[in-house]
C-alpha cells in the first residue's frame, strides 16, 4: 500500500488531499514539527536526507518533493485523473500553473518570510521588493481566477492541488491579507467546500484552523 509521510503544516498536505480526491487507499504517517526549531523531526531524515516532507513509499520506491509525488501518484494510481494530457486544449495552461506554484509563488512567499524575519524596516529596499513581488504574484493569480473557477480551467486539477497549500497554510509562516484579492477568496471558498479537501485536512492536520479567507 502507498504510504504518505505527512509533516503537520507543510506541503505534504497536498499529497493527503490528492489521495482523497483520487479515492485511493493509503497509509498516513504523521509527524509534528519541533516546537523550538519548527523543523521536521529526525525520523524524516531516515527517509529523506534533507529531512523534508512530503515523502511517500510505494513498494520499493521512496520519493520526495511534492510536485514529483503528485505526478507519480496520478500516473501510477490515478489513471491520469486530475491532470491534462497533450490533447487537452488547456494542456499548456495546466502545465504553467502546476509549475508556477513551486517555481514562482512558493519562493515568493518564502522570500517575504525571510525578509520579514530579518527585521528590515518597511521602507528597506529588500522588504519593498519582497512585498512588491508577493503583490504581483497574487494579483496574477487573482486575475486568472476571475477568468475560470480553477487555475487550469473549468475543472479541479493537480495545479490546484499544488496551489492551495501556498495560498492557505503558508500564511501561518508569513501572513498575507487577501482583502485585495476577491477571486482568490472565492476560489478558496470553493476548495473549502470540497469533501475530499475537508477529509484530507481533518486527517492530516486535525484541529488546525484553515486560512481560507
Query: For residue range 81-112, what is the model confidence (pLDDT) as tens digits?
Result: 999 999 999 999 999 999 999 999 999 999 99
Question: What would the mean pLDDT of 33-52 be, rounded to a whole number?
Answer: 73
Residue ranges and CATH numbers for the domains of the chain are 2-82 (3.40.30.10), 91-194 (1.20.1050.10)
Query: For residue range 108-146, what is the model confidence (pLDDT) as tens digits?
Result: 999 999 999 998 898 999 999 999 999 999 999 999 999
pTM for the model stands at 0.93
User: CA-CA distances (angstroms) from residue 59 to 27, 56, 90?
Assistant: 12, 10, 33
At a CB cut-off of 8 Å and minimum separation 6, what does 211 contact?
A: 168, 169, 171, 172
**Grid coordinates standing for 30?**
504523521
- pLDDT at residue number 37: 67
Question: What would the mean pLDDT of 157-168 be, rounded to a whole number?
Answer: 98
Burial of 80 (0-12, 13-18, 19+ CB in 10 A): exposed
Amino acid at each position: 500500500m502507498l504510504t504518505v509521510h505527512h509533516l503537520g503544516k507543510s506541503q505534504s498536505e497536498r499529497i493527503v488531499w490528492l489521495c482523497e480526491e483520487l479515492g485511493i487507499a493509503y497509509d498516513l504517517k504523521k509527524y509534528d514539527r519541533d516546537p523550538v526549531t519548527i523543523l521536521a523531526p529526525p525520523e524524516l531524515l531516515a527517509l529523506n536526507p534533507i529531512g523534508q516532507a512530503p515523502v511517500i513509499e510505494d513498494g520499493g520506491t521512496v520519493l520526495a518533493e511534492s510536485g514529483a509525488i503528485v505526478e507519480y501518484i496520478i500516473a501510477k494510481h490515478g489513471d491520469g485523473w486530475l491532470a491534462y494530457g497533450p490533447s487537452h486544449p488547456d494542456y499548456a495552461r495546466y502545465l504553467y500553473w502546476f509549475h508556477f506554484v513551486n517555481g514562482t509563488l512558493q519562493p515568493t512567499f518564502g522570500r517575504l518570510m525571510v525578509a520579514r524575519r530579518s527585521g528590515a524596516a518597511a521602507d528597506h529596499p529588500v522588504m519593498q521588493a519582497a512585498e512588491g513581488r508577493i503583490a504581483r504574484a497574487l494579483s496574477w493569480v487573482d486575475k486568472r481566477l476571475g477568468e475560470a473557477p480553477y487555475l487550469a480551467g473549468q475543472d479541479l486539477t493537480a495545479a490546484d492541488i499544488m496551489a492551495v497549500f501556498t495560498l492557505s497554510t503558508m500564511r501561518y509562516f508569513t501572513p498575507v491579507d487577501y482583502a485585495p484579492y476577491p477571486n482568490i477568496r472565492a476560489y478558496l471558498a470553493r476548495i473549502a467546500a470540497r469533501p475530499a479537501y475537508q477529509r484530507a485536512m481533518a486527517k492530516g492536520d486535525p484541529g488546525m484552523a484553515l486560512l481560507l479567507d
